[in-house]
Structure 1
């Protein structure tokens, strides 16, 4: 009887169904986000998360147990995380071009969600706001800032 109970309990808690889940992250103007990570939390399965790296063309593929194996079927809250490196150059303001607004890096404020259907999808789309750079920023994800007088740009 104990063996039957244990196997019955184990059989009932199989965990979430995982389905292929991929898509694109773009700024409000349609420009793809070129770097970062998507992280998700399932709305019903506590502790079930998926993540995927954003490629240079804005696309991503989510993985739950392995890289790109998919995400749990159902609704997920999402965040977009970027690590932006800056250098301490006096008088230089780093460019905010391509930088996602930090509001999207917290589950409490991101406002982003996806729905993963049972058959999976490759058409997920997350639309994010960018960081605005000062007055006159033409695009919602910043603009290139000029080097301060006397500074020389690094060569690739």
Structure 2
């Protein structure tokens, strides 16, 4: 009777489980640095909130990059790692305020509500290889 075969399957299972977290998370896709500023129609910076870019990858998957809007209106996008930027290509853009732990909005946005939805924001930007510096000009509330 050969008892080593069941242990061989157990070992194979352990190895496959160890490799599972690496599958489906392709960080080899090239990102390009994206920074910029969110500016109101009157020229003052948007204070707080989140900017989110979305595009479709070559594989047909929706890929999003986001960044926190600082008090001076500046932001830096991250897709897979902090500050890595966004994928090359055309992106739709939204802006919103994050919710606090109790579900309430933690920062009162100083931009129109239309910017919270990809279909109504009207914001589109192309990301190119290399450094990308973007100014997002908004309408005042």
Give the shorter-chain TM-score range. 0.5 to 0.7
For the pair 1:17 / 2:27, whether they are aligned, the reply is no
| Deviations 1:21-59 (CA, angstroms, capped at 9, x unpaired) | 010000112110010000111145522100000001100
**2:130 corresponding residue in structure 1:** 119
TM-score (norm 2): 0.68
Q: State whether residues 43 and 77 of structure 1, in contact with CA within 8 Å, keep that contact through their aligned partners in structure 2.
A: no
Shift of 1:67: 1.9
Runs of at least 4 residues off by over 6 Å: none
Q: Which runs of 5+ in 2 are unaligned?
A: 1-25, 101-107
For the pair 1:27 / 2:37, whether they are aligned, the reply is no
Matches within 5 A, 1:60-79: 60-79=75-94
Shift of 1:77: 0.3
Q: State whether residues 47 and 110 of structure 2, in contact with CA within 8 Å, keep that contact through their aligned partners in structure 1.
A: no
1:48 aligned counterpart, secondary structure: strand
Aligned residues: 108
Q: Which runs of 5+ in 1 are unaligned?
A: 1-12, 86-95, 132-156
Shift of 1:15: 6.2
